[in-house]
């Protein structure tokens, strides 16, 4: 009799647990059936949903407290029950990348739980900077709408707490989210230039450059940087090029092309054939960046750059881009040329 009583007691043991213990709306809740025995299972999740699985999972669409019951073998005496509190799902945003460096595009995506397809409004925002301060974060496409579920940004300087913010409006409720990111520096070569305000450097990152910074170590040399060059074991000197390039005041050579200053900026074959004017403005200084295959030059509006021209009669279709607005630049050099 004692043995039977113990067996009946064990058979009547009904229990379950669930995880996570503090679920959010939209999150899958897993139920672990700890019942000692039984063949039929009847679950009621408290929101109208049921299951006959031994160890089911369930998703609650709305926050709240739900009374969950498990009945074994349709026996009301073999039943366990627990209240589960489901918490609100707070909108957030995320990025698939976990390490961030300067001047690289990153896409941030809003994560908003919306089981009833409410209309959602998004508004991304960035920290406000003063007029003389480079913004810490910039949109990858300045012309893109900031009212969408995802945006691409890039960071302009190393920072332990570079902030990106998002405002989400859903079903009349407004949520403001701000996240801060640790941003690392990265190696890059630079363009150096001399202006009346001093010597400056701008590191180049593909189609972007950091804000110019003052040079204090004398890196930019005082020598003429576009009057003499050794190319393919031959030394080219400015005074020996005047016959083929009348009015030449400076030059650089790369890929059998000569880029030179005369009445503006020109490109031609080394023998003087196929002369094409790149910029008719007075060119005060120029250099070639052989790392990114670009030419940089200064005119009265600032420092400009464009890719090397192609082989087809030195024609080019690329529109020059402006690096900075420094005027009266007298010297330019790529740092790789000075090391």
CATH number of the domain that residue 64 is part of: 2.60.40.10
Supply the DSSP symbol for 336: H
Average pLDDT over residues 248-252: 95
Based on the domain organization, do 48 and 112 belong to the same domain? Answer: no
Residue 175 has pLDDT above 90, yes or no: yes
Based on the domain organization, do 159 and 195 belong to the same domain? Answer: no
Is 22 inside any structural domain?
A: yes
Which of 167, 184, 201 delimits the end of a domain?
A: 184
Based on the domain organization, do 194 and 330 belong to the same domain? Answer: yes
pLDDT recorded at residue 313: 81
pLDDT confidence bin for 222, thresholds 50/70/90: low
Span 140-158, pLDDT tens digits: 998 999 999 999 999 999 9
Is 5 inside any structural domain?
A: no
Based on the domain organization, do 259 and 157 belong to the same domain? Answer: no
Span 28-72, pLDDT tens digits: 999 999 998 889 999 999 999 999 999 999 999 988 999 999 999
pLDDT recorded at residue 8: 42
Is 102 inside any structural domain?
A: yes
Count of domains forming the chain: 3
Is 116 inside any structural domain?
A: yes
Q: What is the domain extent for residue 251?
A: 190-338
Is 104 inside any structural domain?
A: yes
Based on the domain organization, do 154 and 63 belong to the same domain? Answer: no
Measured CA to CA, the distance from residue 67 to residue 48 in angstroms comes to: 10
Which of 57, 86, 115 delimits the end of a domain?
A: 86
Based on the domain organization, do 196 and 121 belong to the same domain? Answer: no
Based on the domain organization, do 200 and 320 belong to the same domain? Answer: yes
- List of residues 6+ apart from 1 with CB closer than 8 A: none
Half-sphere exposure of 165 (CA within 13 A, CB side): 8
Q: What is the mean pLDDT of the chain?
A: 89
Based on the domain organization, do 49 and 107 belong to the same domain? Answer: no
Is 179 inside any structural domain?
A: yes
Based on the domain organization, do 267 and 214 belong to the same domain? Answer: yes
pLDDT recorded at residue 33: 96
Residue 338 has pLDDT above 50, yes or no: yes
Which of 37, 58, 86 delimits the end of a domain?
A: 86
Lowest-confidence region among 61-65, 218-222, 246-250:
218-222
Is 3 inside any structural domain?
A: no
pLDDT confidence bin for 226, thresholds 50/70/90: confident
Based on the domain organization, do 311 and 328 belong to the same domain? Answer: yes
69 burial level (CB within 10 Å; 0-12, 13-18, 19+): middle
Is 163 inside any structural domain?
A: yes
User: Long-range contacts of range 72-75, CB-CB < 8 Å, 24 or more positions apart?
Assistant: 72/14, 72/35, 72/37, 72/38, 72/40, 72/41, 72/42, 73/38, 73/39, 73/40, 74/40, 74/42
Lowest-confidence region among 113-117, 177-181, 234-238, 297-301:
113-117
Based on the domain organization, do 136 and 228 belong to the same domain? Answer: no
Based on the domain organization, do 106 and 79 belong to the same domain? Answer: no
- List of residues 6+ apart from 72 with CB closer than 8 A: 14, 35, 37, 38, 40, 41, 42, 78, 79
């Amino acid at each position: 009799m004692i043995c039977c009583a113990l067996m009946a007691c064990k058979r009547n043991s009904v229990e379950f647990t669930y995880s996570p213990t503090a679920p959010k709306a939209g999150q899958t809740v897993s139920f672990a059936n700890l019942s000692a025995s039984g063949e039929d299972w009847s679950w009621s999740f408290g929101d109208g949903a049921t299951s006959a699985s031994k160890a089911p999972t369930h998703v609650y669409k709305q926050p709240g407290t739900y009374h969950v019951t498990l009945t074994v073998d349709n026996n009301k005496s073999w039943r366990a029950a627990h209240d589960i509190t489901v918490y609100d799902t707070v909108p957030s945003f995320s990025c698939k990348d976990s390490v961030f460096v300067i001047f690289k595009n990153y896409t941030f995506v809003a994560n908003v739980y919306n089981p009833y397809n409410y209309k959602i409004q998004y508004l991304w925002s960035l920290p406000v900077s003063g007029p003389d301060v480079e913004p810490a974060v910039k949109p990858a496409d300045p012309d893109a709408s900031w009212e969408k579920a995802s945006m691409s940004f890039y960071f302009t300087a190393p920072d332990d707490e570079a902030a990106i913010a998002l405002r989400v409006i859903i079903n009349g409720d407004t949520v403001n989210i701000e996240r801060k990111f640790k941003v690392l520096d990265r190696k890059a070569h630079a363009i150096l230039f001399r202006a009346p305000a001093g010597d400056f450097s701008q590191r180049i990152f593909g189609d972007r450059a950091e804000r110019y910074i003052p040079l204090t170590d004398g890196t930019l040399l005082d020598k003429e940087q576009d009057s003499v060059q050794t190319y393919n074991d031959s030394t080219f000197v400015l005074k020996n090029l005047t016959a083929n390039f009348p009015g030449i005041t400076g030059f650089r050579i790369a890929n059998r092309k000569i880029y030179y200053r005369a009445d503006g900026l020109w490109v031609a074959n080394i023998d003087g054939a196929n002369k094409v004017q790149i910029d008719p403005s007075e060119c005060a200084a120029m250099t070639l960046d052989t790392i990114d295959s670009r030419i940089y030059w200064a005119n009265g509006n600032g420092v400009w750059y464009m890719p090397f021209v192609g082989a087809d009669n030195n024609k080019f279709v690329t529109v020059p881009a402006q690096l900075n607005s420094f005027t009266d630049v007298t010297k330019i050099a790529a740092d790789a040329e000075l090391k």
